[in-house]
Amino acid sequence: MTTLRLDDLRQHSDILRLRSGRSLRVRLVEPDDAQALQAYFRGLTTVSRYNRFFGAISELPRDLLAHFVHTGENGRFSVIATITIDGHENIVGEARYAFDAGSDSFEFGLSVDDRWQGHGIGSALLGNLQCRAVAFGARRVFGDTLRSNDAMIGLARKSGFAFTHNPNDWKLLRFEKQIALAPQDIPCASWRLAAQGLALSAAARA
């Protein structure tokens, strides 16, 4: 089990610009975010929570919340997208992802606060996830969604993903994209450095 040192990775937060001109910060989740993250999920509509977790839940179960806030545990990472309003950080979206070095594949899932949908947050977050995927050396990015989730399907289509059947569940659609960027073309330099640091840490433990 590997848990990243958050004090080393906080510098790798990304500041994105939305269509409205607002700044969107994407950063790794920290243990202190547990309460705010739980409040975020409770604040989603029933439909949005169902779409995100493929089932009916009212909040994150305790064990799943623990996994969300321990970044890097079991090779999985969680980020939140935040907007600062009146000096307070507000979570408006989140994503969880994992990189499989054996298949060079990067799997992810995400959600956006219902009150902030339509502001370009989903597109910005998805673009940032692809940047992180390239930084890890991924050649394939993919996710799964319910066939009824028109918003996620539309976002993936707009972002150039192709669709196929999920091999394990007929209710789900898989969307995937091949990535051909060379390391020097990675659009977020901070995450290139972070990925290099992760690779060196893994090599040292081997």
Q: 114 with 93: CB under 8 angstroms?
A: no
Q: 68 with 41: CB under 8 angstroms?
A: no
Q: 174 with 166: CB under 8 angstroms?
A: yes
Name the CATH code of domain 6-201 (choices 3.90.280.10, 3.40.630.30, 3.40.710.10, 3.60.15.10).
3.40.630.30
Q: How many CA atoms lie within 13 A of 78 on its CB side?
A: 22
- Please report, in tens digits, the pLDDT of each residue of the chain (206 residues total): 344 454 555 566 888 889 888 999 999 898 999 999 999 999 999 999 999 999 999 999 999 999 999 887 778 899 999 999 999 999 999 999 999 989 999 999 999 999 999 999 999 999 899 888 888 888 999 999 999 999 999 999 999 999 999 988 889 999 999 987 655 555 554 555 555 555 545 445 44
Rounded to two decimals, the pTM is 0.84
Distance CA 107, CA 97 (A): 6
Q: Which two tokens stand for residue 44?
A: 């989603």
How high is the pLDDT of residue 2? 42
Taking the domains of the chain in order of start, what are their residue ranges?
6-201
118, with CB counted inside 10 A (0-12, 13-18, 19+), is: exposed
How high is the pLDDT of residue 17? 87
